[in-house]
Amino acid sequence: MKNSMHPAFFWIGLSSIPGVGRITFRKLVNHFGSPERVLSALPDQLQAIGGIADKVITGIGSYPWREQAEQETERAVRSGVAIITSDDPGYPARLRKIPDPPLYLYLKGSLLPEDDNAVAIVGTRNPTHYGTITAHQIALQLAAAGITLVSGMARGIDTQAHKGALDAAGRTIAVLGCGIDVAYPPENKTLMETISCSGAVITENPFGTQPESGYFPARNRIISGLSRGTVVVEAAEDSGSLITAGYALEQGRKLYAVPGNIGSVTSKGTNNLIKRGATLVEGVDDILADLGLNSPADHEARVQPPLPPLTQEESLVFTCITNQPKHIDGIMAECHTPAGKLSGVLMNLELKGLAKQLPGKYFVRRDASVPSDER
């Protein structure tokens, strides 16, 4: 198949011309009917539109775009990456409705009709233990209820949103602020590959685009645009997650925020969102009820793996440990277990993957509701 036969060939060609941003692209296509017709238009036809820069007219006429389009489509075919234009039936319907949708999407994985029922989870790259657990648990329970989870693949809350969905054997979509061939952050390369096999990794950026700060606000409009609502879990006052929240409101989507410790810097942004009218979320049922969906309670059994065999003492101590850090002295008092014996039991629970020791001799659970990178 010739490269010019690729459905996105002329779309990529037109958008690669210097001076052709999304606004100019749409203006030209609305006038001529398609990117291909724009690229075959004569200079006087282009000038007659008005408001088209000379460098754009020159770029169209001199065909510097063809080489770029050929390289990009060849690379997509070699890499197994689909390029979905906004007039393609497979383009996300919900995303098409936002004020400034991407002209086309690079896709690794698959977008399914059920992904229209999606919720985004975003937040700080440096979450507390509370934020980590909360983001993972909400994602896991939403995925168990059949919701597709959307996030930005960043460190922290985004990563936990994706992992929570995967731990529930659900679907998740990662929206990148870089090229489809760039793993960012680098430690999420395996996660990105896993998502592409059981969900979708998408971006509007060309191959090789590095993760520069200017690309992330644009990425955030796609995160909220794909979703019925956006949940913010821990965000400082200047967090990029608040940009996503702003896009959600601009796009007429639901906005949810998880309240946090009033003394925590990472809770100031979320608490302020609640003050300004975001729906307060104490659990996944708050989100599902607001969206008119059922509770995932009947699904939880399938996402909670069975516990390994425990002795009577281990079972007792395990019931005294929760997802909130608890000091060893508190566990000892609650379980009425001598200090010497308790240390051994806690060690056994750690070896069985059920407990984790935090600094200062605090302990938390590592059961099915705890993120996989905490195991």
Q: Is the pLDDT of residue 300 over 70?
A: no
3-state SS, 177-241, equals CCCCCCCCCHHHHHHHHHHHHHCEEEECCCCCCCCCCCHHHHHHHHHHHCCCEEEEECCCCCCCH
Give the tens place of pLDDT for each residue, 225-266.
999 999 999 999 988 899 999 999 999 999 999 999 898 999
| More confident position, 15 or 358 | 15
pLDDT reported for residue 63: 73
pLDDT reported for residue 361: 86
Give the tens place of pLDDT for each residue, 26-64.
999 999 999 999 999 999 999 999 899 999 999 998 878
CATH 3.40.50.170, applies to 312-374 = no
Mean pLDDT of 112-124: 96
How many C-beta atoms surround the C-beta of residue 138 within 10 A?
A: 25
Confidence band, pLDDT 50/70/90 cuts, at residue 364: confident
Confidence band, pLDDT 50/70/90 cuts, at residue 302: very low
CATH 3.30.70.141, applies to 113-303 = no
Q: Is the pLDDT of residue 373 over 50?
A: no
DSSP structure string for 236-292:
-TT-THHHHHHHHHHTT-EEEEE---TT-GGGHHHHHHHHTTPEE-SSHHHHHHHTT
Residues 269 and 259: their CA atoms lie apart, in Å, by 10
pLDDT reported for residue 282: 92
Indicate the CATH number for domain 3-78.
1.10.150
Percent of the chain with pLDDT over 70: 93
Segment among 182-186, 246-250, 356-360 with least mean pLDDT: 356-360
Mean pLDDT of 157-176: 95
Confidence band, pLDDT 50/70/90 cuts, at residue 363: confident
Q: In this structure, are strands 362-365 and 326-327 parallel, antiparallel, or unpaired?
A: antiparallel
Segment among 161-175, 312-326, 337-351 with least mean pLDDT: 312-326
Residues 2 and 276: their CA atoms lie apart, in Å, by 54
Confidence band, pLDDT 50/70/90 cuts, at residue 295: low
pLDDT reported for residue 296: 52
pLDDT reported for residue 306: 67
Confidence band, pLDDT 50/70/90 cuts, at residue 322: confident
Q: Is the pLDDT of residue 180 over 70?
A: yes
Mean pLDDT of 143-171: 95
pLDDT reported for residue 163: 95
User: Do 138 and 185 meet the contact criterion of CB atoms below 8 Å apart?
Assistant: no
pLDDT reported for residue 15: 96
Instruction: List phi, psi (to 5°) of 366.
Output: -130, 50
pLDDT reported for residue 374: 43
Confidence band, pLDDT 50/70/90 cuts, at residue 18: very high
Give the tens place of pLDDT for each residue, 65-115.
999 999 999 999 999 999 999 999 999 999 999 999 999 999 999 999 999
Give the domain ranges of the chain: 3-78, 113-303, 312-374
Q: Is the pLDDT of residue 323 over 60?
A: yes
Confidence band, pLDDT 50/70/90 cuts, at residue 10: very high
Confidence band, pLDDT 50/70/90 cuts, at residue 183: very high
Q: What is the mean pLDDT of the chain?
A: 91
Q: Is the pLDDT of residue 369 over 60?
A: no
Q: Residue 306 gets which letter from DSSP?
A: P
pLDDT reported for residue 365: 83
Confidence band, pLDDT 50/70/90 cuts, at residue 324: confident
